[in-house]
Structure 1
Amino acid sequence: MGMRFNTYLVSIGSATIENKEPDYAVQPLNLPAGRTPKWPTLVVETGKSQSHHDLDRVARQWIQKSAGEVKVALTIKVSRTMVTIRRYGRSGITRAAVLQTITVEKRGQNSPVRVAGGPLIIPFIDLFLRTAVRNQADITFNDTELEEWANIVWKSF
């Protein structure tokens, strides 16, 4: 993308849904006029023992209870053989929907890793609350990067 994210994003942990902070949340360092700093623009919820249903419920709540101020919710469900990433966003005025599902699967110790549904794309405007300029663009994690993420996760099992 041609810029350092940590210069333009700040990690926040003050917003809660049902007394739960997200596993990770960020918002732009410079918020547009009138935008409350209460809500992040992106939240991440991860789960190893949680079900997809539980992660789905929480991701939808972040978007809906913030009245769309949370623009992107990512859930990352991990197991020994699969990492599933879902990107949620607004659907209509008040609803949240799964906009993208990516699976990274390892069927056996010596079998190749398979990525389906990639690349993971986080729209620039949703994260930074402004249009991209010059060399700025959507944040894209290609299949190779997704495979590297999964391999790092699997090493911890």
Structure 2
Amino acid sequence: MSSSASQEATPSILSQASSHAGDQLHRESIRHLIAKSDAFVVSHVTPHAMGRIDKERGEDGQGFRVFLYRSENEILFITIPTHTHEVNHLRLDRLCYDIAAGMGLGSEWAPVGATTYEKRDSVTNIIYTQGEGDSGMRPLYQRPAPGGFPTLVIEAGVTQSRSSLRMKANWWFATSENHVKIVLLVKVDFRDKSIVIEKWKAESQNPPSVARRITRAATRAAQALTPTAVQTVTIKRAAGIGPTSPRKGLLRLEFENLFLRQPTGNESDIILGTTELQVYASDVWRTLNT
């Protein structure tokens, strides 16, 4: 093998809101992109290159978040935590927390923020895959370990595509082996002045009648869980909330999924109804001055 062939390709920006193919991943690129996009994609990122990026980004303070990295295709998806991006998910996260705290669950709600979750080779320490959410929580009493997977993850996107957000939802369920229970994808679209919230869960694709008939030997395969968008709520700035599910505008986060136990006393599901979602959307638009 020639020396040139054995050298790693230089990480280069593939795409974001406006294409800069061929630019090296360096500070000038980051500064330029922060003003124009909240996400972009970098190619030719080998596991060794990813290790260097992971180490150096903490040292020189580069303002980006690892949205998703997979070593098999050497593609790194990066999120820029712009003001617009952060407001989008932090307001929703705070609303969910406030509802939980109102039921006396504040001490049980452990925020995970942009904690890094990854899989590495046990011998070489090479990164196989890595990702960071925007907001999320884990139940402190049921999962006390600091590195435990969250049960709720919120992922936001402005210039980021819905397809990449959905890809990340699938990644959360696969990487956590379904220890992540709910993923909320929040997409702001300034063109049609809307906020779209998708609720994803890993669910069995077998109806109950079929599940009852399957043999014990086939149980594991037949009841495999598949990431599924179980609800979509669209909030239009001018027209209000338009749900596309039969729950009449209610975005329900099931208590058992969040806290991994049965509710007691006045504890119940976290429900964001029309009023709560309108407050959230109004806060987002007002903060963004749009």
Aligned match for 2:178, one of 65, 68, 82: 68
Aligned match for 1:25, one of 130, 133, 136: 136
Tell me, in whole angstroms, the C-alpha distance in 1 between the residues paired with 2:171 and 2:263: 28
Q: 1:91 — aligned with what?
A: 203
Q: 1:15 — aligned with what?
A: 117
Deviation for aligned residue 1:15: 2.3
Q: 1:42 — aligned with what?
A: 152
Aligned match for 2:276, one of 142, 145, 148: 145
Structure 1 unaligned blocks of 5 or more = none
Q: Secondary structure at the match of 2:132?
A: coil
% identical aligned pairs: 28
Tell me, in whole angstroms, the C-alpha distance in 2 between the residues paired with 1:114 and 1:129: 30
Change (3 A) 1:94 1:114: closer
| CA radius of gyration, larger in | 2
Tell me, in whole angstroms, the C-alpha distance in 2 between the residues paired with 1:50 and 1:56: 11
Correspondence 1:58 to 2:168: yes
Q: Which has the higher helix share?
A: 2
Contact residue 67 and residue 94 of structure 1 kept, 8 A: no
Change (3 A) 1:16 1:100: farther
Tell me, in whole angstroms, the C-alpha distance in 2 between the residues paired with 1:139 and 1:64: 25
| 4+ runs deviating over 6 angstroms | none
Contact residue 14 and residue 38 of structure 1 kept, 8 A: no
C-alpha RMSD of the superposition: 2.2
Q: 1:129 — aligned with what?
A: 260
Aligned match for 2:243, one of 100, 116, 120: 116
Out of 71-80 and 112-121, give the one that drifted further. 112-121
Larger RCO of the pair (alpha carbons < 8 Å, separation 6+): 1
Q: Secondary structure at the match of 2:267?
A: coil
Q: Secondary structure at the match of 1:146?
A: helix
Deviation for aligned residue 1:55: 0.7
Correspondence 1:6 to 2:106: yes
Change (3 A) 1:104 1:88: same
Matches within 5 A, 1:99-110: 99-107=230-238
Tell me, in whole angstroms, the C-alpha distance in 1 between the residues paired with 2:111 and 2:176: 17
Contact residue 22 and residue 44 of structure 1 kept, 8 A: yes
Tell me, in whole angstroms, the C-alpha distance in 2 between the residues paired with 1:32 and 1:114: 35
Tell me, in whole angstroms, the C-alpha distance in 2 between the residues paired with 1:94 and 1:114: 30
Structure 2 unaligned blocks of 5 or more = 1-99, 120-128, 205-223
Out of 83-92 and 9-18, give the one that drifted further. 9-18
Tell me, in whole angstroms, the C-alpha distance in 2 between the residues paired with 1:89 and 1:101: 12
